[in-house]
């Protein structure tokens, strides 16, 4: 029952013209991780999270799309996609019926550096879930008919992407920055590589690369470490072997033209990507760059979004990001703008990237807002067993200390405006920026010639 205010008690006036001052931050403690290694080489990391009777099981394999052999781009993703297409005598339908019987839904994902497969189940079904995961990862059927169907679906998807300007821009921009480097393609691959791929390629990749020496089982939930190690040892008892050595990364990167266009006649908007290869995840400037990105383009009130959206009205939203990977990942600005505003938007964006390096110093208020966005509510990212498990996979993938998440907020709060500008000056290079536009070249051509980026290189709309 609500209480009726007593009119005799004076209520202090409330100043609604400004936000209330935030309270002091609370220390965040990440739960303890217990670790073991099975005889076959599989690592088992567990965290007790007993608030509800669920357990999240994730297998992180430290090989991703960057492990694709040259000419077989998309092979790693195809292999992961084939894991749930049947196991042993089970068909794909029977395998998913077995998962459904324990209330499990399979999740799989692959990025440049790693693949992830797992599920969340009631804790009493953890043993059955582990055996199903083991069947998929260790003993997949890899039938030719299933491979042909999955490959055809991927080829159809590539055809669809030609008509999606944002996807076309992302895929082409990745290739512009990296060329034949292992990061030069998306996990999906391309039409030529998929057409040339065979089921034998998938079987060989599975046998050579998906090995326990590269894999960590992360289990978080209503479980104890000893039990989970015992269950994993039973489920993966016959999984042994060391993965083939990863191919060395080619340090040679292409030197793309500064201005590139994929013509799209009649397009009412231009998809724009601006960026360059930046830094790996282990850079000492990681926290400073995360904070710098929040000021530059990582949130709604960032400089670039306020400029292009709120001030100029060119777009519904613009954002920047650092994609931190094991090797140097890209820094990228993404925006979709009105066709007529394309040239101006590019000019303003490049100017903002240059300004944060020192021409327009980062203010204490800007940094405070960026830090608040990163730290206020930070603990909400670790509420569920699955959220915690996914966080642990980041520790595994990037060899981060166990207390990394507990130290994140203090580390970000120590960043100063000088730190931000120093990191931006060190790692953002306006003279190295590559720009890609997917738009109506006939309309935007005249404005592009005024940017001082040289004549645009016209690229095909291939994926």
pLDDT in tens, 164-182: 999 999 999 999 999 999 9
Contacts for 233 with CB less than 8 Å, ≥ 6 apart = 38, 39
CA distance 209 to 201: 12
Contact 353, 281 (CB under 8 A): no
Alpha helices in 264-357 (DSSP H): 286-296, 303-305, 342-354
pLDDT at residue 266 in the model? 94
pLDDT confidence tier of residue 18, bands split at 50, 70 and 90: confident
Question: pLDDT, tens digit, for every residue of 321-334?
Answer: 999 999 999 999 99
Q: Is residue 143 classed exposed, middle or buried when 0-12, 13-18 and 19+ CB atoms within 10 A define those classes?
A: middle
Q: What is the DSSP letter of 339?
A: G
Q: Is the pTM of this model over 0.85?
A: yes
Residue 255: both structure tokens together: 């030197």
CA distance 5 to 10: 10
Question: pLDDT, tens digit, for every residue of 114-160?
Answer: 999 999 999 999 999 999 999 999 999 999 999 999 999 999 999 99
Domains of the chain: 34-235 (3.30.830.10), 259-458 (3.30.830.10)
Contacts for 413 with CB less than 8 Å, ≥ 6 apart = 25, 371, 375
What backbone phi and psi angles, to 5 degrees, belong to 395? Answer: -65, -40
Instruction: Using alpha carbons, select from 313, 321, 323 the residue that is nearest to residue 348.
Output: 313
Average pLDDT value over all residues in the chain: 94
Place of tokens 């190690």: 229
Angle at 178 between CA 261 and CA 330, to 5 degrees: 90
pLDDT at residue 5 in the model? 63
Contacts for 380 with CB less than 8 Å, ≥ 6 apart = none
CA distance 256 to 412: 34
One-character DSSP codes across 13-74: ---TTSPPPP-------PPP-EEEE-TTS-EEEEEE-TTSSEEEEEEEES--GGGPPTT-TT
**H/E segment holding residue 179:** none
Percent of the chain with pLDDT over 90: 87
Pairing of strands 34-37, 43-48: antiparallel
Q: Residue 3 above 70 pLDDT?
A: no
Q: What is the DSSP letter of 307?
A: I
Instruction: Using alpha carbons, select from 195, 190, 210, 193 the residue that is nearest to residue 142.
Output: 210
CA distance 320 to 274: 9
CA distance 320 to 312: 18
pLDDT at residue 2 in the model? 55
Alpha helices in 32-182 (DSSP H): 75-82, 92-101, 126-138, 144-161, 165-178
């Amino acid at each position: 029952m609500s209480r009726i205010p007593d009119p005799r008690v004076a209520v202090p006036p409330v100043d609604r013209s400004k936000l209330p001052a935030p309270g002091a931050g609370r220390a965040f403690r990440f739960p303890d991780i217990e670790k073991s290694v099975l005889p076959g080489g599989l690592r088992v990391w567990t965290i007790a999270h007993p608030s509800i009777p669920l357990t999240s099981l994730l297998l992180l394999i430290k090989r991703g799309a960057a492990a694709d052999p040259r000419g077989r781009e998309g092979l790693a993703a195809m292999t992961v996609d084939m894991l749930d297409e049947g196991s042993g005598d089970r068909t794909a339908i029977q395998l998913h019926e077995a998962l459904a019987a324990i209330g499990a839904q399979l999740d799989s994902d692959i990025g440049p550096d790693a693949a992830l497969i797992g599920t969340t189940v009631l804790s009493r079904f953890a043993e059955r879930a582990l055996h199903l995961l083991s069947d998929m990862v260790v003993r997949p059927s890899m039938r030719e008919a299933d491979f042909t169907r999955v490959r055809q679906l991927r080829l159809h998807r590539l055809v669809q992407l030609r008509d999606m300007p944002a996807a076309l821009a992302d895929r082409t921009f990745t290739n512009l920055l990296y060329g034949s480097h292992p990061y030069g393609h998306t996990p999906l691959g391309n039409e030529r590589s998929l057409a040339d791929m065979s089921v034998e390629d998938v079987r060989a990749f599975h046998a050579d690369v998906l090995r326990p020496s590269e894999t960590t089982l992360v289990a978080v939930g209503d479980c104890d470490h000893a039990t989970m190690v015992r269950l994993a040892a039973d489920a993966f008892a016959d999984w042994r072997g060391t993965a083939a050595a990863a191919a060395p990364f080619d340090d040679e990167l292409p030197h793309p033209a500064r201005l590139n266009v994929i013509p799209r006649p009649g397009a009412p908007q231009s998809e724009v990507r601006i960026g360059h290869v930046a830094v790996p995840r282990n850079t000492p400037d990681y926290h400073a760059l995360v904070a710098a990105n929040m000021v530059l383009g990582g949130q709604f009130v960032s400089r670039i979004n306020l400029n292009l959206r709120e001030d100029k009205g060119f777009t519904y939203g613009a954002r920047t990001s650092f994609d931190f990977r094991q090797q140097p990942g890209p820094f990228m600005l993404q925006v979709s703008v009105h066709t007529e505003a394309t040239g101006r938007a590019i000019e303003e964006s490049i100017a903002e990237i240059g300004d944060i390096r020192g021409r327009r110093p980062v203010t204490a208020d800007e940094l405070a807002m960026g830090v608040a966005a990163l730290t206020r509510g930070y603990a909400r990212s670790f509420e569920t067993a699955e959220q915690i498990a996914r966080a642990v996979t980041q520790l595994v993938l990037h060899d981060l200390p166990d207390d990394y998440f507990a130290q994140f907020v203090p580390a970000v709060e120590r960043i100063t405006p000088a730190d931000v500008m120093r990191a931006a000056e060190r790692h953002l290079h306006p003279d190295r920026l590559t720009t890609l536009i997917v738009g109506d070249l006939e309309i935007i051509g005249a404005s592009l010639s005024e940017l001082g980026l040289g004549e645009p290189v016209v690229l095909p709309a291939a994926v």
